[in-house]
Amino acid sequence: MPDLPTGTVTFLFTDIEGSTELVGKLGDAYSAAMADHRRILREAVAASNGQEVDARGDEFFAAFQRTRDAVTAALAGQRDLAAHEWPGDTPLRVRVAIHTGEPLLGESGYEGLDVHRVARICAAGHGGQVLVSQTTRNLLEAGQVPEAEFQDLGEHELRGLPRPERIFQVLAPELPAKFPPLRTENIQPATAAVDEGKGLRVVLADDSVLLREGIARLLSEAGFDVVGQSENPDDLMLKVRSYSPDVAIVDIRMPPTQTDEGLRAAQEIRESHPGVGVLVLSQYVEPAYAMELLAESAEGVGYLLKDRISDVDEFAAAVRRVAEGGSALDPALVTQLVGRRRQHDPLDELTNREREVLELMAEGRSNQAIGERLFITPRAVEKHITSIFGKLRLPQASEDHRRVLAVLAFLRA
């Protein structure tokens, strides 16, 4: 980790608006465009005495000891991005946010609410726009950035942060001045999003950019809000900390070793961010990995084979179930777990029909869906579930909690 500014630090955070669509438009030229985008921003930051903190996916993160340097770098970067000749005459529209605070500097970089705040402000903006926080605006004395003027856009609630933020747009020659309203008015509380089954915030992690962008497009069309994409576990954790998503969708095998880095990141999310559902994707059925993920609880956890993504409705339903605190296990995984030889099996008391019901519960199916699959009435499903609870000697609790306990007993046996 290079020496980074400490004390009062001004952050500059950027990302590309519409990056998902951009991949489809540029195709093979996307990687070259991303390289040009990073080079332009790096040159602007270096010219203004800034220090690059991170550059992952379509995001760029820099820190400055002086507030005016950050604004100067942002304006220079936007001008150079606008003047650049992009492949296919498809410009990259980059949104920029600046915020000043006194962040903690840990072993892995900056930590604390100031990092979250600058990322949230950036997410509220539009491509080509430069936004600054109230704190940053207060620190800029008249004439420090002669070319810049500041337009007050009012106070806005930023999801997951304890207080609203007054946001200002930086106006400067040669840069566009008119933009749609900030996106904050469209951000709903997580509880409302879950009730509607739409608008859920998702972070994706997969080192295959084509697969990642494909999943993002499918989820966006299904009503989800894909707020971040990552190509490695470290960037995934940064996205989770910054955006507080409802669900993190994670490939089990990720760089650098392509073994279980994604699984370890998923476990860390479950431990450090219990309010975030985790859905892991795998190319193959790997029961040992699944059991590690389910070791403590099956609440808000899913494990699906990548082949399931092609059934968009089923995949979207699985993501929603995980966001709501339920489970979503691939039928192939459940079948393999059922087929294992067991000694002292605590489920021996179950009838064949009860075992079928429990298998479908393990997949995350509702009572209605179980009845439709087994061609029995919802009332019959309820009776089977009540019998399962009794035979497994599960304690009295809410039905949702006992369903989770039953699934865990089934998987661990």
Backbone angles phi, psi at 244, to 5 degrees: 45, 60
Backbone angles phi, psi at 39, to 5 degrees: -60, -45
Residue at 299: amino acid letter = E
Residue 39, number of CB atoms within 10 A of its CB: 12
In whole angstroms, how far apart are CA 375 and each of 255, 360, 368, 385, 386? Answer: 45, 13, 10, 15, 18
Residue 116, number of CB atoms within 10 A of its CB: 19
For the ranges 153-162, 163-172, 253-262, the one whose mean pLDDT is highest:
163-172
End-to-end CA distance of the chain: 45
pLDDT (0 to 100) of residue 355: 80
Q: What are the DSSP E strand ranges found in 126-199?
A: 130-133, 149-156, 165-171
- Of the ranges 284-293, 325-334, 350-359, 369-378, which one carries the lowest mean pLDDT score? 284-293
Q: Residue 190 pLDDT > 60, yes or no?
A: no
Q: Is pLDDT larger for residue 179 or for residue 162?
A: 179
Q: Residue 193 pLDDT > 50, yes or no?
A: no
Residue of 231, 250, 228 lying closest to 240 (CA atoms) = 228
Cα dihedral 309, 310, 314, 317 in deg (nearest 10):
50
Structural domains present in the chain: 9-186 (3.30.70.1230), 190-337 (3.40.50.2300), 342-412 (1.10.10.10)
Which two three-digit tokens encode residue 204? Answer: 């994706």
pLDDT mean over 345-372: 78
In whole angstroms, how far apart are CA 302 and each of 191, 255, 272, 281, 358? Answer: 20, 21, 17, 8, 16
**CA 231/CA 209 separation, integer angstroms:** 8
pLDDT mean over 219-240: 87
pLDDT (0 to 100) of residue 411: 54
Query: Could you identify the residue written with the tokens 């494990």?
Result: 303
Characterize 128-162 residue by residue with b for buried, 16 or more Cβ atoms within 10 angstroms of its Cβ, and e for exposed.
bbbbbbbbbbebbeeeebeebebeebeebebbbee
**CA 332/CA 306 separation, integer angstroms:** 12
Which two three-digit tokens encode residue 47? Answer: 């010219």
pLDDT mean over 389-401: 60
pLDDT mean over 167-186: 84
DSSP one-letter code for 112: S
Q: Which uninterrupted H or E stretch holds 239?
A: helix 233-243
Contacts of 284 (CB under 8 A, 6+ apart): 305
pLDDT (0 to 100) of residue 337: 59
pLDDT (0 to 100) of residue 296: 59
8 band by pLDDT with thresholds 50, 70 and 90: very high
Given a contact cutoff of 8 angstroms between Cβ atoms, the answer to whether 412 and 358 are in contact is: no
Q: Residue 405 pLDDT > 60, yes or no?
A: no
104 band by pLDDT with thresholds 50, 70 and 90: confident
